Structure 1
Amino acid sequence: MNNEPQLPEGASTLIDVVRVVLWVVALLGIGAIGIGVVQLGSDRFSRQQDGVGKGLATIVGGFATVFGAGLAGYILPAGSDDAHDTTAQPVDTPPVDAAPPETIAAPPSEPFDWTPVIWIAAVVAALAVLALAGYLIVRTRHRILDRKAAARTLTADFAAAHAVYNDVADRYAEYLADPYAIFTRPLLDDLKDPRTAAFITAFTDAGALRTDTCPASSERVQTFADASRAALTAWTTADQHARAIGMGVQTEDGKRAVRRIRSALDLALDNSAAAGEREAAMATVARLSDGLMTVPDRIYARAKTAIETTTRKQLTS
C-alpha cells in the first residue's frame, strides 16, 4: 500500500504545464540579460548615458526572473511522471479472511532543505557581481580611451591653428623684411586703408590668443583657430588689394622720382659703399619721398644700423 499523499486528479498535468511555463520564463530572463548587456554596449558606444540605467535594470530583472523561475520550479510537487509511478504497481487483493490492516502513522514531515536555494541565490548574486564588475571595467576603459582620443584631437587642432598663425606671421615678416616691398605693396603700411587696418586688428587678436603649449580647454583652442583663420583671410585680402593698387596712378615726374628713390635706396643698402655715400643716399631717399610716398621708419633704421656696422669695421681695420 502507498501511504504518500496523492495529488488530485488532473493536478499533475497542471504542474507539468506550470513547469513548462517556468522554463519559458527562465529563458525569457536569460534573453533579458543578453538584451541588457547589448543595450549597455550600444549606449556606451553611442554616448547615450540615459540608456545605461535601462540596461542595468534589464540585466537585474533578467537575473531576478531566472532566479524566481528556478525557485518556483524547485518547490513544485512532483508532476505526472512521478505521480503515475506509484499507481503503475500491481495491487495485491488481500484475502477475505485477512485481518484488518494495522493503521500506520504517517512519518513526520522533514523540514524544508534551503541549501539548494541558498546555492542558487549565491550563484545568481555572483553572476550579478561579475556582470556589474565587467561593466564598470569596460566603462572605465572606454572613458580612458575617450580622454586620450580627445587629448590627441585637441593637440592636433592646436597644431593646425598654430600652423595657420605661423603662416600669416611668416608672410607678414617677409613683407616687413623686404625694403623694396614699399614699391609694390605700399598700402600694407597704410593703416588708413580699411583692409590693412582689418588685417592688423585680426593679426593682433590672434597673437593675443596664441600660447606655446596646448590649452586644456577645447573652447580656447577653437577660439585661437578661428582667430588664426580670420587673420589669414584678412592678410590675403589686404595683400591682394595692395598688389593690385601698387603705387597708384602717377605722373611722369612722379615715376622718375620713384626710380631715383629706388636707386638711392640701393646705394644706401650696399655694404660695399662708403659710409658717407650711404648716408647721403638715405638723405636723398628722405628728400625725394617727402610728399610723394611713405618710407617706413624700419627702412631708415635698417640703413642706419648697416652704415654704423660698416663704420665700425672700417675703424677697427
Structure 2
Amino acid sequence: MNTPDSLAPQHPEGADVFFGMIAAVAPYLAWGVGVFGIVAIVAGIAQLHQHSLRGEPAGPAVGTIGGGLFMTIAGPVFGTIIGRTVDTGPGAEESAATAAQPPTTAPADVAREMTESTPTDWTPLIWIGGGAAALALTAYLITRTRSHIIDRRTAQRTLDTDFAAAQAIYDDVAAAYAAYIADPYAIFTRPLLDDLSEPRTAAFIDAFADATALRPLTCPDSSDRVQAFASAAHAARSAWDSADTHARTIGMGVSSEDDTRIVRRIRSALNLALDDSATGQERDTALQTVERLAAGLITIPDRIYTRAKTAIETTTRKQLTH
C-alpha cells in the first residue's frame, strides 16, 4: 500500500545540491559586489578631486561614483533575491510537505530547537549600515571637493584681480616714462630725469628695471610671483613720482638772465632742427647751434640728437630725389 511519502513528487538530489551551493555562495557574491561598489565610489571621488585640481570635466568621475553607488545598493538586493529563489526551489516543497505532517515532538521542544539551531541573520543590517556609511562618506567627500573647487576658483579670481591691478600700475609708470623719453622738449622742464647722478632718478631706473624683470606675460599660478610683481610695480610708481616731482621742481637749474636767454635760444634752435618743413641745410645748422649753445650749460640727451639727425637725413634724401 502506498503511503503519502511514496506519493509525493521526488526531486533529484542534484537540484538540492545546486540550490545549496547557490545559497552558500550568494552572501559572498553580495558582499563582493558591495565592497567593489564602495571601492568604485572612493576611486571616483579621487578622480573627481584630481579633475577639479586640473580644471578638467568631471564626467567620468561622476559616472564612476554613480556606478559604485549602484553596486553598493545592488549587493544586498542581489543577496535577497537569490535567498528568496533558493527558498522557493525544489527543496522548499519538500520542506513544506514535511512541515505539513503532524509534529512528533512537543511544541516547546520544537521552538527550543529552532531557537538553538537558527542564529540571527545580521547581514541585512550590516548592508544597510554599510550603504548608509558609504552614502554619508560620499556626500562628505563630494561636499569637501566642491568646497575645494569653489575656494580654488575664488583664489584664482583674487589672483587675477591682484595681477591686473599690478599690471595697471606698471603700465601707467611705463607710459609716463615713455612719454618723457619721446618728448624732446621735456629736457627744458625735467632734465634731471636724464641725470643718473641724481639719486631719485637712479632709484627710479633701478626700481623700474626690477619691476620689468618680475613682470610675467600672463597671470602666474603662484601668488608669490604676483605679490612680488605687485610690490615691484608699487615701488616703481613711488620712485617715479618722487623723481618726476623733484625734476619738475628743480627744472633747468639756471637762474641768471644770460643763462635763461641761452636756454631760450637752444629751444628755438631745437624747434628748427625738428621742423619737417625746413630744409636739410637749415635743420643741420640749427642742430649745430643747439650743440654749441648747450655745451657747459645743459646736457642734451643723445636720443634727441639721434632723432634730429635721422630727420635731417630723411629730408636731405627727399630733396635730392626731387
Q: TM-score, normalised by structure 1?
A: 0.65
Q: What does residue range 121-140 of structure 1 map to in structure 2 within 5 Å?
A: 121-140=126-145
Q: Aligned partners of 1:316, 1:134: CA distance in 2, in Å?
A: 83
Question: Could you tell me how far 1:312 is from its partner in structure 2?
Answer: 1.9
State the Cα deviation string for residues 223-250 of structure 1 (Å, max 9, x = none): 0000000000000011011111111242
Q: Who is 1:312 aligned against?
A: 317
Which stretches of structure 1, 4 residues or longer, exceed 3 Å deviation after superposition?
A: none
1:260 pairs, out of 242, 247, 265, with 265
**Paired letter, 1:228:** A
Q: TM-score, normalised by structure 2?
A: 0.64
Q: What does residue range 117-266 of structure 1 map to in structure 2 within 5 Å?
A: 117-266=122-271
Q: Who is 2:79 aligned against?
A: none
Q: Who is 1:95 aligned against?
A: none
Instruction: Tell me the secondary structure at the aligned position of residue 107 of structure 1.
Output: helix
Q: Aligned partners of 1:246, 1:225: CA distance in 2, in Å?
A: 31
Q: Aligned partners of 1:186, 1:293: CA distance in 2, in Å?
A: 8
Q: Aligned partners of 1:315, 1:128: CA distance in 2, in Å?
A: 94
The two structures, once aligned, show a CA RMSD in angstroms of: 1.5
Q: What does residue range 274-289 of structure 1 map to in structure 2 within 5 Å?
A: 274-289=279-294
**Paired letter, 1:170:** A
For the Cα contact (< 8 Å) 2:254–2:260, is it kept in 1?
A: no
Q: Aligned partners of 2:286, 2:280: CA distance in 1, in Å?
A: 10
Q: Aligned partners of 2:307, 2:219: CA distance in 1, in Å?
A: 36
Q: Who is 1:296 aligned against?
A: 301
Question: Could you tell me how far 1:316 is from its partner in structure 2?
Answer: 2.4
Question: Could you tell me how far 1:113 is from its partner in structure 2?
Answer: 4.5
Instruction: Tell me the secondary structure at the aligned position of residue 255 of structure 1.
Output: helix
Q: Who is 2:83 aligned against?
A: none
2:274 pairs, out of 269, 274, 282, with 269
Please state if 1:114 is matched with 2:116.
no
Aligned residue-pair number = 213
Q: Aligned partners of 1:120, 1:277: CA distance in 2, in Å?
A: 106
Instruction: Tell me the secondary structure at the aligned position of residue 261 of structure 2.
Output: helix
The 1:118/1:266 distance shift into structure 2, 3 A limit, reads same
**Paired letter, 2:109:** P
State the Cα deviation string for residues 22-76 of structure 1 (Å, max 9, x = none): xxxxxxxxxxxxxxxxxxxxxxxxxxxxxxxxxxxxxxxxxxxxxxxxxxxxxxx
Segments of structure 2 that go 5 or more residues without pairing to the other structure are: 1-105
Q: Who is 2:56 aligned against?
A: none
Question: Could you tell me how far 1:121 is from its partner in structure 2?
Answer: 2.2
Q: Aligned partners of 1:130, 1:282: CA distance in 2, in Å?
A: 86
Instruction: Tell me the secondary structure at the aligned position of residue 318 of structure 2.
Output: helix
The structure that is helix-richer by fraction is: 2
% of aligned pairs identical? 62
State the Cα deviation string for residues 110-130 of structure 1 (Å, max 9, x = none): 235423x33222211111110
Q: Who is 2:34 aligned against?
A: none
Question: Could you tell me how far 1:105 is from its partner in structure 2?
Answer: 8.5
Q: Aligned partners of 1:106, 1:212: CA distance in 2, in Å?
A: 90
Instruction: Tell me the secondary structure at the aligned position of residue 109 of structure 2.
Output: coil
Q: Who is 1:59 aligned against?
A: none
